[in-house]
Structure 1
Amino acid sequence: MKDVIIIGAGPCGLSAAIECNRRGLTTQLIEKHHIVRSIFLYPTYMQFFSTAEMLEIGDVPFTTPNDKPFRHEALAYYRKVASHFNLNITSYEEAVSIERHENGFFTVHTKDKRGHELQHEGKHVVIATGYFDHPNFIGIPGEELPKVTHYFREAHPYTGTKVAIIGGSNSAVDAALELSRVDAEVTVVYRGETISNNIKPWVRPLFEGLVNKGSIRLHLNSKVTEINEDTVVVTTNEGQKTVIDNDFVLALTGFHPDRQLLASSGVQLNGDMEKPAYNPETMESTVPGLYVAGVIASGSNANEVFIETGRVHGRLIAEHIRPSQL
């Protein structure tokens, strides 16, 4: 019997475990993949928008020679933090259901990578699952083709090919810049009047410069409405269609958390039935003893919670479970 079972070993889950351990609570982290899986799935050469200080957890300094840290630095940092605090992490085991008993304690039912069913007992449960396993599908013909992916890792495999990027956020702009460097023929399709206002300020002028030179084709007020083996169909908001030769499609349309575990545990979901109801001062859900941390606490816009904000959730949770002695 653990004091706290934490489902998800991303930065927010790790932070929750650290804060609970500091208050003398026993913890167990259950992770269906490996620690900080979401960061691992970021593009290989991605640079964060945030400074290193804003990504720190457990008061462990995140040192980097760069103004903004890169993906590989974050992976090394969170590995170091997990090792430093000797966190109890069970990797490659998926939580499938949470059972609350009459005495208020919980049983978390899981499956390991071999399909074996297991269970863990805890007095409290924290759900800190992310969203990178669940891309936002567009729902258009051809989206299921092998040439289509919702993840961009690096540009090399696309050298000399024709690539269509769906989206206008930082991930789309970063991918377009990397692809242009390997002589890919890049077309960016975005439904908005301009690309996102949240584009990293040191990246925007580079992207706009390549668009102005014609090195990157930008279709605004448009969307991809059909994907075929050798082409994509781009349709403007006014209904005008253009057929573009194409080898690969990067549908960088974002991700969303899977709230099935929350719903099946009895947690109330508000409004659009996506945002869990919880106390923002304690992060406790409508199920007593069951807490949320990180992006799972967000609404339909998963970007409203980042590492910078979600990392403090663990402190609120730990303080509610075992208040510090003043």
Structure 2
Amino acid sequence: MIIEKDVLIIGGGPIGIACALECKKKGWNYVVIEKGALTNSLYNYPKNMTFFSTSEKLEIDKIPFISKNPKPNRDEALEYYRRVATSNNLEINLYESVLNINKTDSMFQIKTSKQTYSSKKVILSTGFYDIPNLLNVPGENLPKVMHYYKEAHPFTMQNVIVVGASNSSVDAALEIWRKGGHVTMVIRGESIGERVKYWVRPDIVNRIEEGSIKAYFNSEIIEITKNEVSIKIPKDTKTIKNDYVVALTGYQPDFKLLKEIGVELSKDDKKLPNYNPETMETNVKGLYLAGVICGGMETHKWFIENSRIHAKIIAKHIDSEFN
């Protein structure tokens, strides 16, 4: 049986929820398809993560987000978006994966792990957190290598390499060190990232300068073995003892899904999808993008605070076509 919808939204994160709210206000027959838990990316964030943004900037549809501190943490965000979804009785199907999308005439057919849908419009709001940027070095497939970080306790008294100099890498390095881990950072650039949270950056710089955390700048991992890691440093190669590698080298959107449905991507390394910023509609008529997926590989350009407006832009354009 094919289930018919006016709008099908792929991705149950904050922006997908915002899109669902707009669809409900318009009275459209819609559904959100999410392959994991509600706001799955936020759920997979580190347990102690604090947002850079204030709670007001994370609000959707002017629904108040009350937090204990000006900058809310992961658990507060999970509670907020969960309450928004449940109190508004949004139509969201969780743990349902999209297998493929096909366009036939003016309709889309979406096959998932549970159903087949037919929809007039499709909104892709899938974020970028599910596919890590790999190191592409020997040994990366070893069990001790991970591309996601949850909490510091498992790394107590262990020799841990943290790869990267972004917010996630810095947070992980500091937390692991404070929980008794022996931390070494491997950083391709010459310094800690400029976009690191302003209240955290002095902390990591001081820990490196005092020698509490070892950092190799202008360096990269070239091989990982069971008990060691080889690092290419300026003018030399160094091998150090190692128990775990936490490679927080960033993530990327599901370009495979975009390509399969026919969305054009820029030919450069940015892989920017082709869409109209005034309507958020892609080169595939009836298919819209919302949220960080709009930035391609430039995942630092779009956040909840500056992409929540996408829901209203899309709804306005769809409304003009439905009426």
Same fold (TM over 0.5): yes
Task: Please give the per-residue CA displacement for 1:300-323, whole angstroms capped at 9, x wherever unaligned.
Answer: 222221111221111110000114
Match of 1:27 among 17, 26, 30: 30
User: Structure 2: how far apart are the matches of 1:235 and 1:100?
Assistant: 48
TM-score (norm 2): 0.95
Cα offset, 1:270, TM superposition: 2.2
**Secondary structure class of the residue paired with 1:233:** strand
Structure 1 match to 2:229: 232
Structure 1 match to 2:107: 105
Match of 2:254 among 258, 274, 280: 258
User: Structure 1: how far apart are the matches of 2:164 and 2:155?
Assistant: 18
TM-score (norm 1): 0.94
Q: Which moved more, 1:162-171 or 1:301-310?
A: 301-310
1:55 and 1:307 in contact (8 A); partners too: yes
What is the percent sequence identity of the aligned residues? 46
User: Structure 1: how far apart are the matches of 2:97 and 2:77?
Assistant: 24
1:136 and 1:254 in contact (8 A); partners too: yes
Structure 1 match to 2:65: 62
User: Structure 1: how far apart are the matches of 2:317 and 2:235?
Assistant: 54
User: Structure 1: how far apart are the matches of 2:235 and 2:317?
Assistant: 54
User: Structure 1: how far apart are the matches of 2:62 and 2:5?
Assistant: 24
Q: Can you give the 5+ residue segments of structure 1 that lack an aligned partner in the other structure?
A: 113-117
Structure 1 match to 2:136: 139
**Secondary structure class of the residue paired with 1:108:** strand
Match of 1:128 among 120, 125, 130: 125
AA at the equivalent of 2:82: R
Aligned residues: 317
2:277 maps to 1:308: no
Cα offset, 1:297, TM superposition: 1.3
2:272 and 2:295 in contact (8 A); partners too: yes
Structure 1 match to 2:239: 243
AA at the equivalent of 1:221: N
Cα offset, 1:20, TM superposition: 2.1
Structure 1 match to 2:18: 15
User: Structure 2: how far apart are the matches of 1:210 and 1:58?
Assistant: 41
1:136 and 1:256 in contact (8 A); partners too: yes
Q: Can you give the 5+ residue segments of structure 2 that lack an aligned partner in the other structure?
A: none
Cα offset, 1:38, TM superposition: 0.5
- Spell out structure 1 runs of 4+ moving beyond 4 A: none
Q: CA RMSD in A?
A: 1.4
**TM alignment of 1:116-195, pairs within 5 A:** 118-195=115-192
